[in-house]
Amino acid sequence: MKIKSQLSNIISDALKSANIKADDVVISDATKPEFGDYQFNGVMKLAKILKQNPRQIATNLVEHIDTTGMIAKVEVAGPGFINIWLNNEWLGKEVTAILTDDRVGVGYVQKPKKVVVDYSGPNMAKQMHVGHLRSTIIGDTLATLLEFLGDDVIRQNHIGDWGTQFGMLIAYLEEQGADGATTELKDLEQFYKDAKVRFDESPEFADKAREYVVKIQSGDEHCLTLWQSFIDASLGHCEEVYDKLGVNLTRDDVRAESFYNPKLAEVIKTLKEINLSTVSDGAECVFLDGSEVPVIVQKGDGGYLYATTDLAALEYRAKELKADRICYVVDARQGQHFKQVFTIAKQAGMVGENVALEHIGFGTMMDKGGKPFKTRDGGVIKLIDLLDEAVVKAKESIKERDAHSEDELENIATVVGIGAVKYADLSISRESNYIFSWDKMLSFEGNTSLYMQYAYARIQSILRKYDGEIEGDIIIGDETEHRLAHLLLKFEDTLSKAATDATPHTITSYLYDVVTQFMKFYELNPILKGGIDEEVKVSRLQLAKLTGAVINKGLDILGIKVVDKI
């Protein structure tokens, strides 16, 4: 239900019939409950343009507002605010109407777009660590969300499988007499370290490593086979993590750096042809306006750089995949890089003018001391270990609470533990830096996944206890029901905002509001206790059921599962 745009239409109509000229009507959420559900603040601006008293305009406008349907009443307040209250009957009717809708009242976008979402992008030379968490789950949420709203989403996992380090790795792999499937590769981090030690201690090995880099790039069959087995094994590690995280990335979504390798020469050719690039200090460079430092697209030795690969990827995505919107879910530290690459791609015509290029940046993972995690440090927490630990900790806290069978406990702990990790990350606005803390991630208080899980489980418990077909309408009885119903109808507005801004935390905040409001409703309005009218009981049951459905759907978009019992 698009409440805001419906209200906006009603106000527009009122403006028209009151003969007031105005362009766009922006409806805001009411800042306080006393001010109703929504407010229209545009009158003050109009007053200035029309050189009239705002209160007068507002009073006039209010008389023309249609209050026969969704609006119960409107009031002029303060210097010229118009406060809007939603009608309880209307709320009840709308909320009842979506009870049987598996999209819980959320429609589809009017003009579906083809959207490429580039996320996760692990490096094949290394195991995924906590630093990969944000890209992976923010990207996955964005992809799921856009898909749910009706866009045609193409997931792209731009894995790092190309570069000098692979020469060393496959040379070491060969020396170990191993292929990717053997135990040597179980711990990529260790393997990398061992290879590096070998590289540093033996000049012959180092020479071989360098030779192998060239061989892979020139298509040597033996080296390519080794390389491929290494990549397969490494990708297997990632998939293990994706599986645990419940992330929807498959091999079909992989478009590795190596994929663009054959296209790189063409990129340089294009840039040269239109004179966008010039040679400087032996390297092929693009100098952009307002920047002294160039973007190097080809090294002095002829090698290509990540900007080159990204340009090739942009062209591929725009022209081959025919994307209307391309979202890069990558660390905010690469903001400058993407800004430059986007500019070059547009100037060079690799991407059409109307294609939206967005860098969905996110803050850096910091440690408790406020310092960024270091990738090259040995002390980095592996993502897989983090997830396992989360499940163990979740298990401990559930254990002390209630008697569960071993299987039940395992299942609940997995859902709760993984959910807690994801929720902790997604509930922070993505631009700000992220202070990684076990305590915070695994705390089950406040705005956390467990608060949602708990509310959901309580609702399911009530529905189980009723044990019957629930049939009947929702009738809004009091203020808590009014607010809860209203919140449930705001689901679509919330999702569209989250989709446009690419901000998953908009969804978590919303869900937190829903749950908080449900708890209040539930505290004041008993459902199954004695002495309650059957009609009221059914209405409250339905409202609880719908709340559960919205929580479930919301968490589902965030990639978080729920359990019926905690």
Task: Decide whether 30 or 72 has the Cβ nearer to RNA.
Answer: 30
Report, in Å, the least distance between residue 426 CB and RNA. Answer: 11
How far apart, in Å, are the Cα atoms of 47 and each of 16, 57, 61, 109, 451? 16, 7, 12, 34, 46
In single-letter form, the type of residue at position 561 comes to: K
Report, in Å, the least distance between residue 394 CB and RNA. Answer: 8
CA atoms within 13 A on the CB side of 404: 20
| Cα–Cα distance for residue pair 193/328, rounded to 1 Å | 30
Task: Decide whether 236 or 335 has the Cβ nearer to RNA.
Answer: 335
Per-residue burial over 39-78, b if 16 or more Cβ lie within 10 Å, else e, is: bbbbbeebbeeeeeebbebbebbbebbeeeebbbebebee
Report, in Å, the least distance between residue 195 CB and RNA. Answer: 16
Q: Please, are residues 278 and 287 in contact by the beta-carbon 8 Å criterion?
A: yes
Report, in Å, the least distance between residue 556 CB and RNA. Answer: 19
Distance of CA 276 to the CA centre of its chain: 35
Distance of CA 98 to the CA centre of its chain: 25
Report, in Å, the least distance between residue 352 CB and RNA. Answer: 25
Task: Decide whether 229 or 460 has the Cβ nearer to RNA.
Answer: 460
| Cα–Cα distance for residue pair 257/156, rounded to 1 Å | 11
Task: Decide whether 342 or 522 has the Cβ nearer to RNA.
Answer: 522
* Segment (H or E) for 439: helix 438-442
Report, in Å, the least distance between residue 451 CB and RNA. Answer: 5
Task: Decide whether 70 or 452 has the Cβ nearer to RNA.
Answer: 452
Point out which residues pair with 361 in neighbouring strands.
330
Considering just the CA atoms, what is the radius of gyration of the chain in Å? 28
Task: Decide whether 381 or 462 has the Cβ nearer to RNA.
Answer: 462
Report, in Å, the least distance between residue 277 CB and RNA. Answer: 11
Q: Which residue has the tokens 């759907």?
A: 553
In single-letter form, the type of residue at position 404 comes to: H
Report, in Å, the least distance between residue 155 CB and RNA. Answer: 19
Task: Decide whether 153 or 249 has the Cβ nearer to RNA.
Answer: 249
Task: Decide whether 70 or 283 has the Cβ nearer to RNA.
Answer: 283
Q: Compute φ and ψ for 212, nearest 5 degrees.
A: -70, -30
SS3 letters across 201-236: HCHHHHHHHHHHHHHHHCCCHHHHHHHHHHHHHHHH
